[in-house]
Amino acid sequence: MTQVFHRHCHSDLPFATRGEGAYIYDQSGKAYLDASGGAAVSCLGHNHAGVRAALHAQIDQLAYAHSSFFTTEVAENLASRLTDKAPGSLNHVYFVSGGSEAVESALKLARQYFVETGEPQRTRFIARRQSYHGNTLGALAVGGNAWRRAPFSPLLMPAEHIAPCYPYRDQQPDESLHDYGQRVANELEQRLLTVGPETVIAFIAEPVVGATAGALAPVEGYYKRIREICDRYGILLILDEVMCGMGRTGTLFAHEQDGIEADLVTIAKGLGAGYQPIGAMLASDRIYDAISEGSGFFQHGHTYMAHATAMAGSLAVMDAFEKDGVLARVAPMGEALDQRLRNRFGDHPHVGDIRGRGLFQALELVHNRDSKKPFDSRSKLDKRIKAEAMQLGLMCYPMAGTIDGQRGHHILLAPPFIINEEQLDELTDKLYQAVDKIT
């Protein structure tokens, strides 16, 4: 019996003993192709020499200094590397230890902004039904997955949820993609008018939805309309790029491709590439200046903020992205993956949709392709596919998402950016075997 309190008490997990490139090896020496980067984390693969060297060098000098006593050169450098690349005026970076902490920080900073600027009656957030923003209580409250929220619902702040941009499910036959995008974006305006726009703090959304919908990218024009609505009613726009950010979709920030600017952006996962736990919230000048000229103090903080070793690791990740050209691989390798998925699964009777951006791709599984009927929520399809794939030596990320109350299934793929063509073939072959056997 294991003394580690695993999330699934009865799971029988292999021991991971080493990693190399796109593979993790277990205690028997069996190799697993990491086609999901764990949970879209390991964007550089495993045992990256540059990151390893940077971590060693930092630990030799200084592992940690509490952020209320010191700043460090690595934290300052990492912040400027990120803000140099970020769209708009996201010029201020608040470093934390992971995605949920980044989201909590954004929710609290958004609220504090309105308290300090004389609108304390703003107390609500609006989010989307297919969304995941983390498991801490604030992040869970805005997340759209009713199943995750259920046991904790009496403890959660109330939040409003509107439809996501999900053309495979919701586009009408007589509607263009553009019109569909405008229609679902307009749900934000309708909800604002219902609840009273003066009571709302912010709208929060994942630019490309990860865990709850499977690499669901917005249609053209959707986010421009969302931004217009936010501006019209004076609410903030928080973009959660914890999963889809840090190059995963082909650009450092996913929302660069939507031509908009956010007030607050959260990142994590790929920021540390799995080498250290790290997350960050980027704040725009407007938000930062209001706090700086107001109380001068963000009423929030964590012990491991701007942890020096984590900062050094992430700087090496940025070096690999830029100097080694790893980020530039994402778009072409994403196309190569998309092509392979379409070739193999295009006619599969239980694959309803193939979608994604860059190296962030997914298959939506359906019981019936014509009616788009999902598999029964009790089928445990996600767990069975994951187990079969692991048997075959493949890590992928099957999830039971939510389709408006029902639970649908998809498989998320988020391989390391260093993956090569041969490994993409291995990925597609093994995935096909697992999906075909279990569906």
243 binds ligand PLP, rule: CB under 6 A = yes
Q: Which residues pair with 124 in a beta bridge?
A: 200
Name the minimum Å distance from CB 135 to ligand PLP. 6
282 binds ligand PLP, rule: CB under 6 A = no
* Residue ranges with strand state E in 268-314: 279-284
- Cα separation of 339 and 169, whole Å? 22
Q: Which residue has the tokens 């609006």?
A: 126
210 binds ligand PLP, rule: CB under 6 A = yes
- Cα separation of 211 and 150, whole Å? 17
Spatial CA neighbour of 202 closest among 267, 272, 141: 141
- Candidates 98-106, 175-183, 224-232, 422-430; binding stretch for ligand PLP (CB under 6 A): 98-106
Output the DSSP codes for 111-151.
HHHHHHTT-TT--EEEEESS----SSHHHHHH---HHHHGG
3-state secondary structure of 393: coil
99 binds ligand PLP, rule: CB under 6 A = yes
- Candidates 127-135, 147-155, 186-194, 423-431; binding stretch for ligand PLP (CB under 6 A): 127-135
382 binds ligand PLP, rule: CB under 6 A = no
- Cα separation of 101 and 92, whole Å? 16
The nearer residue to ligand PLP, 87 or 98, going by C-beta atoms, is: 98
Name the minimum Å distance from CB 243 to ligand PLP. 4
Name the minimum Å distance from CB 212 to ligand PLP. 9
Spatial CA neighbour of 110 closest among 85, 140, 79, 142: 142
268 binds ligand PLP, rule: CB under 6 A = yes
- Report the Cα–Cα distance between both ends of the chain, in Å, rounded: 32
Using CB under 6 A, pick the residue from 242, 290, 394, 400 that binds ligand PLP.
Answer: 242
Name the minimum Å distance from CB 145 to ligand PLP. 11
- Cα separation of 238 and 240, whole Å? 6
Name the minimum Å distance from CB 133 to ligand PLP. 5
- Candidates 82-90, 195-203, 237-245, 364-372; binding stretch for ligand PLP (CB under 6 A): 237-245
The nearer residue to ligand PLP, 116 or 214, going by C-beta atoms, is: 214
Question: Is there a contact between 202 and 263 (Cβ–Cβ < 8 Å)?
Answer: yes
- At 41, list the tokens: 């984390």
- Candidates 26-34, 92-100, 225-233, 253-261; binding stretch for ligand PLP (CB under 6 A): 92-100
39 binds ligand PLP, rule: CB under 6 A = yes
Name the minimum Å distance from CB 227 to ligand PLP. 19
Spatial CA neighbour of 40 closest among 192, 226, 267: 267
In the complex, the residues that contact ligand PLP under the rule CB under 6 A are: 39, 98-100, 103, 132-134, 206, 210-211, 240, 242-243, 268
